Structure 1
């Protein structure tokens, strides 16, 4: 299998300096699947028509251990921030491609950016597969009362859930299946953390960047509407 490398993005060059201080717990770096989540975590909730989406945890896509212990903050996130990976708009929509993307992204973030782990909490592939990014993000989401400190948006890493969407969306729209998978994930996050749909933003709302692309950014009102339908 050919390795892929996400295109370096200037917007990420300073993220390592963006972590905010807050009450936190240091977690071990091993991946934790929902099935092995600690006793007492509430089960993911779902609307009858829009159940909780399937999310592949770090172990499922073959993540490396983080280089340092991941920090679990004693607070819920305040918002969701949507990103694009600025990688090629591939037509390989397979699960294998999604897992390859997750591994390549983690290697880029750790080996080239110098971060302790994948920067974002979750990733949505062009084939509509949803994957955990930073270790323990999925367990925290399923608990619904804490979040993992990440590295996806300067000034927001202790406040916002970051979602990467595979592809570059300056002029093209994401595949329909990918967009609706993003809506499913955002709805699940809003449901678990009691977030209003108005708290779904694009990266450029907080940092000087083209992310998540002109086209995807213009689709955020539609995304909020789709999420609202899932929460009714």
Structure 2
């Protein structure tokens, strides 16, 4: 999650902690796009469309293996935002992640707003295995999908937002992955719930809290993960 406070026109928004990226792996060229057969790419608002500041990006994309896990996050913003303001909120996030946190770019691979709009996050190609900075210790071979908002007790998960998380996960998971199952990943550092080099058995579609000591993605969204897994499974079986 995002970890600082910024001032938006709607007021002060609550932010939560993101995480450092793992050790980089930079092949000469990106791996080819690998998606589940028959799962269409959902509509995605490009970085150009939300006016990401490409001049601010410090290094080119890092690529890892095909996507074996999807980590679901929330950004910590107030849920009362107007969806028309989402591009501006993403630009503010990008600036904070780069200038304040010291990362190369925005940390999440995808961001979904409460109206169900999916935004391209980190640069490098939405269909490529771009290594993000979303889940400390487990940024390799995974993607981070962030729900724009906060989903602690007393909140609700908008159906359109949930449906778009399902679409992204179904499209980006590697062929053969069971979204209802588990996957073993090696921890890349000692700052997650697992020691560096330790093999962790995690849900293929996991919440940030499964691998890191955090409340992310909020109790309410976390409780929706079983339903999200089932929906992803059904979409990939069509």
1:219 aligns with 2:202: no
Give secondary structure in 2 for the equivalent of 1:138. Answer: coil
Deviation of the 1:53 alpha carbon: 0.8
1:54 and 1:130 map into 2 onto residues whose CA distance is: 7
TM-score (norm 2): 0.76
The equivalences for 1:98-137 within 5 A come to: 98-137=86-125
Confirm or deny: 8 A CA contact 2:34 2:175 kept in the other structure.
no
- From 51, 55, 64, give the equivalent of 1:62: 51
Deviation of the 1:218 alpha carbon: 0.8
Confirm or deny: 8 A CA contact 1:90 1:126 kept in the other structure.
no
Structure 1 stretches lacking a partner, 5+ long:
28-37, 141-146
1:227 and 1:4 map into 2 onto residues whose CA distance is: 36
Deviation of the 1:127 alpha carbon: 1.2
Paired positions, count: 205
2:11 and 2:109 map into 1 onto residues whose CA distance is: 20
The structure in which a higher percent of residues are helix is 1
1:26 and 1:64 map into 2 onto residues whose CA distance is: 25
Confirm or deny: 8 A CA contact 2:135 2:211 kept in the other structure.
yes
- State the 4+ residue runs in structure 1 displaced beyond 6 angstroms: 43-46
Deviation of the 1:3 alpha carbon: 7.7
Task: Encode CA deviations 1:100-151: one digit per residue, 9 max, x unaligned.
Answer: 22212111211221211100100001111001110014141xxxxxx11211
Q: Given the superposition, is the C-alpha separation of residues 112 and 55 from structure 1 closer, same or farther in structure 2, using an over 3 Å criterion?
A: same
TM-score (norm 1): 0.78
Deviation of the 1:168 alpha carbon: 0.6
Confirm or deny: 8 A CA contact 2:132 2:139 kept in the other structure.
yes
Deviation of the 1:78 alpha carbon: 2.1
1:72 aligns with 2:75: no
Deviation of the 1:84 alpha carbon: 0.4
CA RMSD of aligned residues (A): 2.7
Structure 2 stretches lacking a partner, 5+ long:
1-7, 182-203
The equivalences for 1:163-182 within 5 A come to: 163-171=145-153, 172-182=155-165
Confirm or deny: 8 A CA contact 2:36 2:172 kept in the other structure.
no
Q: Given the superposition, is the C-alpha separation of residues 53 and 7 from structure 1 closer, same or farther in structure 2, using an over 3 Å criterion?
A: same
- From 119, 134, 147, give the equivalent of 1:152: 134
Q: Given the superposition, is the C-alpha separation of residues 123 and 46 from structure 1 closer, same or farther in structure 2, using an over 3 Å criterion?
A: farther
